[in-house]
Structure 1
Amino acid sequence: MSDSERWPTLVGFGAAVLVLAALLALVGAEDVITEFQKARPSVVLAVVVAATVWLSAWGLALQAVLGAMGVRIGPLRAIGVFTGAMFANNVTPFGQAGGEPVSALLISKATDCEYETGLAAIASIDVLHFMPSIGFAIVGLGVFGTRVVAGDQNLVAGLVAVTVLCLGFVLAAVAGWRYRYEIERQAERVVPGVVRRIVGIVPRVTPPSRANVRRRIGRFFDSIDRVASDPATLVRASVLSAIGWFALSMSLWLSLVAIGTTVPVVAVLVVIPLASILGMTPFPGGTGPVESGTVGLILSLTAASPAAATAAVVIHRGITYWGTTLAGWTITTLVGVRRGIA
């Protein structure tokens, strides 16, 4: 990556540091450190286990999707590749949207499949992850709202917002599937010219022919179609995605338990999916907004103190974000993709 390409990431991390510093200043850094020091190592280890289950479940979901596309990959290798993909998401602005091209490159190198197949696989996984996350949020808001703080207007508003988001996604998915051939035709008409113009300004790089770009677009849509037409794969990947979301939620719950704060499990089932939406902000992996949003949601749904909530989020994100980023960096380096993003 050139200096000009590296600047957005560096600026993003700089902005994230400022957001995190503001959060600590608002809550009180000394109070957070005091709470953090209460953390029980045995429970923190359980957080690591939960994070491992999360990555493993989503890695196996990727294996299922690749299998539907005719790409064979072992379970351990699939988990490793997905962890590498998480590294790409964590260090690029706009999270998954920014990291998908690199994730596709990693998948193609690790499995010897076409790049567009890797892109279709990671795009399919992102879509399949959405429904379970929103489902958990709806169930959590419903159960939490009726059992704990019935009638709370904030929870009612949250439930309505999440439901609308879910319905919007379903309608978009149905429309995309119904008009998929028209979308493919439009992509084949527009994308080749755009690609040739962009590549044409890159020194010493020959723009691909329009026919070559169209073939790649066709293979991308064919791969998507193979996954969407395989009910067994959709069910398996969705179940694995749900297991991953639950494990990720338990990571936050255990982080709170580690410092002596217990909250209803349904509360974290709401917090994790909603906070993850902030990962789409122009910060690398959503760092800064995700932590702040997670703390805010914990405080709005539970009786945890600001310092305890912040300390727990530090543990949770330290393991699920920074730990995953380090592991993913190692994997992408071994696979040989790092040179394309660093």
Structure 2
Amino acid sequence: MARENLRATLIGFAATLAVFAVLLYTAGIDDLVTQLTTADPRYTGLVFLATLAWLAAWGGALRTVLGVLGVELSRIRSFLVFCGAMFSNNITPFGQAGGEPVTALLINRATDTEYETGLAAIASVDTLNFVPSITIALIGAGYYATEVTLGRRLEFALGAVGVLALLVPSLVYVGWTRRYELEHRVIDALIPAIRAVARVVPRVSVPTADGLESRITGFFRAIERVAANPRGLAFALALSSLGWGLQMAALWFAFAAIGEPIAFSIALFVVPIGAIAGVTPLPGGAGGIEWTLAILIAAASPAVGFKIATAGVVLFRGFVYWTPVVLGGAVVGTTGAGSRV
């Protein structure tokens, strides 16, 4: 299993490198290097500070949700645990969907809480992060539309956001109202699959249907506890919104650093749309997010153009992607070695 996971990860990073190679070739490597090497260090420093503040804000949202579930976590530890969560998301395919199980294990080891409680906490935070992202994107697009005429690419992107704003909450609602029916279906599907794996890997133990049902029920009950605390939800939602605002500020600072500032209203809607591109087979959406952001910014600001847009996006993503990878990698390595963060 570990060998298969390693192979999948290596294939994912190889695909990412290929996507980046095409992006850099299209944008022009020489021009890109010139833009990045002559970037204003003052604004570059602000990109880094905004990135750290974003991680702290979303780490605070995780701390709030864990507090609702009765798990105490200091601000520093919540920051480090969330960096570890982002590390997991950035090295696994399909964004949060691929990183959540690993993140739940990290929370389990860092706080000595049950695995399903950690999974419920990070799932709740990811769900809360979705709400302000779509709202801010629609507000930013609406404001931008009052200033200029939207092109076809932007109309398509914003139309997709509108569909997601209706579709995702509807699917979550239907899934939640039928959660216990889904629970039995998941158990019926998982037990045979685990038994098949156990035949090949003797060390894998096969859980009983009752044991698996107990864990899934524990996960649902943890979600219910979070949903039943409106004060905690509101505070976590405010921190999530702050985190999105800091990411947008980081993007704006990145373009100011290369001497090509963009309207802040553009950052309001392109950052959430770019995050949607993270749900791809590429690790952390790397490559796909850069392409999406560069295309949208070039379409929204023709004076900037695709080459300059790519330079600003690469600077922005260089901090937003690699800062949590470096910090979170250290956290995951330390926690995996048996120490607590």
Q: Normalised by the shorter chain, which TM-score bucket?
A: over 0.9
Secondary structure in 1 matching 2:277? helix
1:152, distance to aligned residue in structure 2 (A): 4.1
8 Å CA contact 2:183, 2:213 repeated in 1: no
Give the fraction of aligned pairs with identical amino acids, expressed as a percent: 42
Q: Deviations over 1:51-79 (max 9, x none)?
A: 01110110000011111111111111111
Q: Deviations over 1:158-194 (max 9, x none)?
A: 3333122101122223323333343344445544444
Q: Residues of 2 paired with 1:279 and 1:151: CA distance?
A: 24
8 Å CA contact 2:62, 2:236 repeated in 1: yes
Q: Residues of 1 paired with 2:44 and 2:295: CA distance?
A: 22
8 Å CA contact 2:59, 2:81 repeated in 1: yes
Q: Deviations over 1:252-272 (max 9, x none)?
A: 110000010111101011111
Query: Which residue of the partner structure matches residue 32 of structure 1?
Result: 32
Q: Provide structure 2 residue ranges, at least 5 long, that are not aligned to the other structure.
A: none
Q: Deviations over 1:128-160 (max 9, x none)?
A: 11111111111111111112x136454444333
Counterpart amino acid of residue 319 in structure 2: I
8 Å CA contact 2:157, 2:273 repeated in 1: no
Counterpart amino acid of residue 299 in structure 1: A
| Distance change (3 Å), C-alpha of 1:78 and 1:199 | farther
Query: Which residue of the partner structure matches residue 105 of structure 2?
Result: 105
| Distance change (3 Å), C-alpha of 1:52 and 1:156 | same
Q: Residues of 1 paired with 2:14 and 2:328: CA distance?
A: 21
Q: Residues of 1 paired with 2:279 and 2:154: CA distance?
A: 23
Q: Residues of 2 paired with 1:49 and 1:150: CA distance?
A: 34
8 Å CA contact 1:59, 1:82 repeated in 2: yes
Pairwise mapping of residues 160-175 of structure 1 onto structure 2 (< 5 A)? 160-175=159-174
Q: Which moved more, 1:244-253 or 1:302-311?
A: 302-311
Q: Residues of 2 paired with 1:336 and 1:282: CA distance?
A: 25
Counterpart amino acid of residue 174 in structure 2: A
Query: Which residue of the partner structure matches residue 76 of structure 1?
Result: 76
Pairwise mapping of residues 104-143 of structure 1 onto structure 2 (< 5 A)? 104-143=104-143
Q: Residues of 1 paired with 2:139 and 2:293: CA distance?
A: 18
8 Å CA contact 1:81, 1:331 repeated in 2: yes
Q: Which moved more, 1:308-317 or 1:215-224?
A: 308-317
8 Å CA contact 1:142, 1:159 repeated in 2: no
2:295 corresponds to 1:296: yes
8 Å CA contact 2:94, 2:283 repeated in 1: yes
Query: Which residue of the partner structure matches residue 284 of structure 2?
Result: 285
2:312 corresponds to 1:312: yes
Q: Residues of 1 paired with 2:282 and 2:155: CA distance?
A: 29
Task: Tell me the number of residue pairs that the alignment of Structure 1 and Structure 2 aligns.
Answer: 338
Query: Which residue of the partner structure matches residue 23 of structure 1?
Result: 23
2:241 corresponds to 1:274: no
Secondary structure in 2 matching 1:280? coil
1:82, distance to aligned residue in structure 2 (A): 0.6
TM-score of the superposed pair, with normalisation by structure 2: 0.93
Counterpart amino acid of residue 38 in structure 1: T
Query: Which residue of the partner structure matches residue 212 of structure 2?
Result: 213
Secondary structure in 2 matching 1:94? coil
8 Å CA contact 1:35, 1:307 repeated in 2: no
1:227, distance to aligned residue in structure 2 (A): 0.7
Secondary structure in 1 matching 2:278? helix
Q: Residues of 1 paired with 2:194 and 2:128: CA distance?
A: 28
| Distance change (3 Å), C-alpha of 1:187 and 1:4 | closer
Q: Residues of 2 paired with 1:30 and 1:305: CA distance?
A: 16
Q: Provide structure 1 residue ranges, at least 5 long, that are not aligned to the other structure.
A: none
| Distance change (3 Å), C-alpha of 1:43 and 1:240 | same
Q: Which moved more, 1:154-163 or 1:222-231?
A: 154-163
Q: Which moved more, 1:183-192 or 1:26-35?
A: 183-192
Q: Residues of 1 paired with 2:152 and 2:203: CA distance?
A: 60
| Distance change (3 Å), C-alpha of 1:338 and 1:252 | farther
Counterpart amino acid of residue 213 in structure 2: R
Q: Residues of 2 paired with 1:324 and 1:205: CA distance?
A: 32
8 Å CA contact 1:145, 1:152 repeated in 2: no
2:226 corresponds to 1:227: yes
Secondary structure in 1 matching 2:328? helix
Q: Which moved more, 1:330-339 or 1:246-255?
A: 330-339
Q: Deviations over 1:233-256 (max 9, x none)?
A: 211111111110110111111000
Query: Which residue of the partner structure matches residue 63 of structure 1?
Result: 63
Query: Which residue of the partner structure matches residue 44 of structure 2?
Result: 44
TM-score of the superposed pair, with normalisation by structure 1: 0.93
